[in-house]
Amino acid sequence: MSYTSAENDIAWRHWRCEWSLSPDVAYLNHGSFGPAPKEVQRVRQDWTDRLQVEPFDFYVRQLEAELSHAAECLGEFIGTSADNLAFIDNATFGMNIVASSLDLQPGDEVLTTNHAYGAVLRIWREICRRTGARLVVQRMPEPLNDAQELIDTLFSGVTEKTRLLVVDHISSPTAVIFPIVDICRRARRQDIPVCVDGPHALAVKPLSLDALDCDFYLASAHKWLSAPFGSGFLYAHPRVQQTLRPVVVSWGGSLAGAESRWQDEFHWSGTRDAAASLTIPSAIDFLCRAGILNFRRRSHDLAQYARFRIGDVTGLQPEIPDSPGWYGSMIALPLPPGDEPPLKKGVRDPLQSQLWKQFRIEVPVIHWHGRRFIRVSCHLYTSAREIDRLAEALRELL
Ligand SMILES: Cc1ncc(COP(=O)(O)O)c(C=O)c1O
């Protein structure tokens, strides 16, 4: 097994200059908020400038065609047609659209896993509370080293009342890649609609949404694709497009007088700047110029290096195999338990604050099922030296 090393950084260090990240900060938290390269930021600004030149012309005569072009580029990147994509602000927005469109009845069930993102669990708890439905949170096996066992455990939560399966492509607290191809295939066989929560997978994993055949897939392009903040999208399979209802009701039709499409409800939710969505093609171009496979290989090598270096400090190993099938550009590494009681919402673990204040390292410490993890995200601008810096800081603090 070959771990990356600081010497390897030399070949990659020019990438750092493409971002405007603070030079003194080791930014290992792309998974929470992924900064856009300078070039992508400039393109975003160009779109806003273009809007300012003649807002009526831009909104009414140009915007729909420009959004269609952006959807074609995105569709090509993720293996689907532009007709199946709507631009929204972020993945949270998309999950809310799916939740409020589902028409749940008392006694219905929505099935998800205990790896789901906290805000996603909250969306579904809230909609179930309002409708009298039930959220079933299936606990996944521990350790996770057998995809079939994971799938069987998930589907053992299915009943005749299951109306939707909500599953991560890559989970947030644990950074695990879920076997969504097999999950979607089995769900189709059992006639259960699937909504895939995909913000951490866009760019990190190859996507072919038409082949995946899920019902909904939503993501935030402002994570790993490094598009500007506010560039989410919702994919809806043609069989479910007409079931979708807006969470923000506006005109619900084309401003340019074009034939109505399901996306109209979402593309115009009142006057707003669409620059972030329109910049998605430039973010794709940027990553493709770097080489998408280079990005995946390098960022996974760095995540693997973090696994090795931090595991050496803590003596603890993650509960997933050391394989690109189980983790990609981000890895959640177990930490010894802290002294503090479970944290209140919005309160950071003291270790996270110390890493930031004393060492200028931005990395999340995550509490999940009574355990603590440090979640290390690696992108083209990340260096092995920064991971060494984190390992040394942890040795001092733990
Ligand atoms: C798995 C997962 N789903 C959804 C979201 C929400 O993304 P956003 O804040 O861009 O809406 C996140 C954010 O980190 C996430 O990790």
Residue range 134-172, pLDDT digits in tens: 999 999 999 999 999 999 999 999 999 999 999 999 999
pLDDT band at 320 (very low <50, low <70, confident <90, very high): very high
Q: What tokens were used for 70?
A: 């952006």
**Which residues approach ligand 1 with their CB closer than 6 A?**
32, 90-92, 117, 120, 168, 172, 197, 199-200, 220
Please give the model's pTM, rounded to 2 decimal places.
0.97
Cα-to-centroid distance, 232 and ligand 1 (Å): 10
Among 30, 220, 377, which is best to mutate for testing ligand 1, by the most ligand atoms less than 8 A from CB?
Answer: 220
Q: Which of 327, 287, 299 minimizes the C-alpha distance to 387?
A: 299
Q: Taking the CA of residue 390 as centre, how many other CA atoms within 13 Å lie in the half-sphere pointing to its CB?
A: 36
Average pLDDT over residues 16-35: 97
Residue range 218-266, pLDDT digits in tens: 999 999 999 999 999 999 999 999 999 999 999 999 999 999 999 999 9
Percent pLDDT > 70 in the chain is 97
Cα-to-centroid distance, 272 and ligand 1 (Å): 21
Average pLDDT over residues 386-398: 97
Cα-to-centroid distance, 197 and ligand 1 (Å): 8
Residue 212 is predicted with a pLDDT of: 98
Ligand 1 atom with minimal separation from the 170 CA:
1
On whether the CB atoms of residues 40 and 184 are closer than 8 A, the answer is: no
Q: What tokens were used for 279?
A: 């910049």
Ligand 1 atom with minimal separation from the 172 CA:
16
The CATH number for 42-286, chosen from 1.10.10.10, 3.40.50.300, 3.40.640.10, 2.40.128.720, is 3.40.640.10
Ligand 1 atom with minimal separation from the 93 CA:
11
Among protein residues, the one with the nearest Cα to ligand 1's atom 2 is 117
Q: Where are the domains of the chain?
A: 6-37+292-397, 42-286
Indicate the pairing of strand 162-168 with strand 194-197: parallel
Q: Which of 93, 91, 84, 131 minimizes the C-alpha distance to 110?
A: 131
CATH number of 6-37+292-397: 3.90.1150.10
Cα-to-centroid distance, 200 and ligand 1 (Å): 8
For the cut 60, the answer to whether the pLDDT of residue 1 exceeds it is no
- How far CA 177 is from CA of 30, 255, 329, 367, 390, in Å, comes to 17, 40, 10, 19, 24
Q: Which of 363, 341, 368, 342 minimizes the C-alpha distance to 351?
A: 363
Same fold, 6-37+292-397 and 42-286: no
Among protein residues, the one with the nearest Cα to ligand 1's atom 16 is 172
